[in-house]
Amino acid sequence: MESFLNRYRSITVLLLVIFAQLVLVAFQVKTDRDVRMIRVWTVTAVTPVARIVEALRGGSTGFLRNYILLHDAHQENLRLQAELGRLKMANNDLKNELSMADRAKALEVFQSHTPSKTVAATVIGIGAGTNSKMVFVDRGTVSGVERGMAVVTPDGIVGKVITAYPTASAVLLITDPDFAAGVVSQKGQVHGTLKGQGTPICRVDYVPFEEKVEPGEWLYTSGDDRIFPRGFPVGVVKVVRSAQPFKEVLVDPSGMAGGLEDVLILVEGVHQAIPDTPPANQAIFIGPPPPADATKPPVNPGNAPPGTPVGTEADKLRTQYKDIGDAQGHKFGEGVPGSKPPDFNLRPGPVSTPAGQPAGAGGRAPAPPPASKSAPPPGGALHP
């Protein structure tokens, strides 16, 4: 027996190690629990080294910039070419510093204005594995961070804390396939569930096909998931495809648009209202004006007579009803139920009927109460 074990010692150890790890995986999958001890050991071993390396990188960059490059520049000051190169380099550095200062300032301003209580953190590493959509930040339980807390930037949500260690935390990014958050559209208040896809674009599930969501519309957190407070920007709708029973909606997340270096962890989230306008720091594309074409007459939208306000059919109707009400001394919204309504067939002033269009041919626009076509009032029939 002993000689047998000695002969097959390697394969025996291999099978034992594989079996032990299979049991480990099975335990975690079956119980949905994590073996925290091993993770804590590894993270505690790796993240301090990462912080030291990051500090050394920052220090050496500063040293290089402040001493060696200046020293070289002093030696090369006599030559114009070197002077030009140094100035270009300095210019690039200043641009980088300005960019970093802008980001830091934006974070600081956001932190001071948001009603939620936040902790600023720096990304110090990404998750292992080529398909990983997880990062490590340099704040942990010592700083009050707990599992499940939301992670945001001034531009939008970034992810959520999936594990909090004493000195660091693991953040599952919004683009990870396991990520999900409740979202609501800005215009139609349509609710859905944002999910990552492992790509830079996320999708929104469970948007009923009859709901209206348009490309370019902003999405905000709905607060339904109890992780992200209501009112944080999520991203812009890129694509909307009709499908049964739910629409297919793709979203370009805004939180990581400017890179991911500094983030805020929401220690105490406060719900906010969904703003009426897109976030102010987002560039809004405005197309160029159409080219002037002098040969064509100006188009009068909707065949409206001159002086009629340009807008939707509802806007035009509202204006016409208001004019009728004003002419008859009626104020909308003030009459008691059952009181006599204004006569909508009377017109306050002359309105020209478009040529070639018979009276009453108004398409599907909402019509006023039906009137006798055979005997129109002297002022002419109202054509909404």
Partner 1 sequence: MSYSGGHILIGSQREGQISRFPAWVMLVVPLAAILFQVYVPLFFEFLSFLEMPLLVVVYFALMRRSQIGGLMVGALVGLAQDSLSKNPLGMLGIVNTLVGYFAASVGLRLDVDHPLIRMLLTFFFFLFHQLFYWLMARALLGQQLAFEIQRTLVLGLLNAVVGVALFHFLDKLRKAT
Assess 56 for contact with partner 1 (CB under 8 A).
Answer: no
How many Cα atoms sit within 13 Å of 9 on the Cβ side?
4
Tokens of 373: 């076509």
Among 107, 119, 121, 123, binds partner 1 (CB under 8 A): 123
How many other C-beta atoms are found inside a 10 Å radius of the C-beta of residue 330? 17
Binding segment toward partner 1, per CB under 8 A, in 33-41, 79-87, 90-98, 231-239: 33-41
Closest CA to 209 of 173, 238, 248, 258: 248
Among 80, 81, 112, 129, binds partner 1 (CB under 8 A): 129
How many other C-beta atoms are found inside a 10 Å radius of the C-beta of residue 300? 12
- Residue 352 C-alpha from the chain's centroid: 48
The nearest distance, CB 320 to partner 1, in angstroms, is: 58
C-beta pairs of 61-68 under 8 Å, 24+ apart in sequence: 65/93
Assess 10 for contact with partner 1 (CB under 8 A).
Answer: yes
Closest CA to 193 of 246, 153, 232, 240: 246
Q: Which residue has the tokens 């018979």?
A: 358
Let me know how many helices (H) and strands (E) the chain has, helices first. 6, 12
Binding segment toward partner 1, per CB under 8 A, in 14-22, 265-273, 279-287, 292-300: 14-22
Assess 266 for contact with partner 1 (CB under 8 A).
Answer: no
Among 176, 194, 207, 263, binds partner 1 (CB under 8 A): 176
Assess 130 for contact with partner 1 (CB under 8 A).
Answer: yes
Contacting residues for 187 by C-beta, under 8 A, at least 6 apart: 212, 214, 217
Binding segment toward partner 1, per CB under 8 A, in 6-14, 226-234, 235-243, 244-252: 6-14
Among 107, 119, 121, 124, binds partner 1 (CB under 8 A): 124
Assess 242 for contact with partner 1 (CB under 8 A).
Answer: no
Please report the sign of the dihedral spanned by the C-alpha atoms of residue 201, residue 202, residue 204, residue 205: positive
d(CA 272, CA 233): 11
Size of the site for partner 1 (CB under 8 A): 43
Please report the sign of the dihedral spanned by the C-alpha atoms of residue 156, residue 39, residue 59, residue 118: positive
What is the enclosing helix (H) or strand (E) of 161?
strand 156-164
Q: Which residue has the tokens 């291999």?
A: 14
Among 1, 2, 5, 29, binds partner 1 (CB under 8 A): 29
Among 119, 134, 158, 181, binds partner 1 (CB under 8 A): 134
Tokens of 158: 């970034």
Contacting residues for 224 by C-beta, under 8 A, at least 6 apart: 182, 191
Among 76, 106, 127, 224, binds partner 1 (CB under 8 A): 127
Q: Per-residue string for binding with partner 1, 321-360, x by CB under 8 A? A: ----------------------------------------
How many other C-beta atoms are found inside a 10 Å radius of the C-beta of residue 45? 9
Binding segment toward partner 1, per CB under 8 A, in 12-20, 111-119, 208-216, 267-275: 12-20
Residues 142-171 that bind partner 1 (CB under 8 A): 162, 170
Assess 121 for contact with partner 1 (CB under 8 A).
Answer: no
Assess 14 for contact with partner 1 (CB under 8 A).
Answer: yes
Among 41, 67, 206, 209, binds partner 1 (CB under 8 A): 41
Name which of 158 and 240 has its Cβ closer to partner 1: 158
Which residues sit at the interface with partner 1, rule CB under 8 A? 9-10, 13-14, 17-18, 21-22, 24-26, 28-29, 34-35, 38-39, 41-43, 45-46, 49-50, 53-54, 123-132, 134, 136, 162, 170, 172, 176, 178
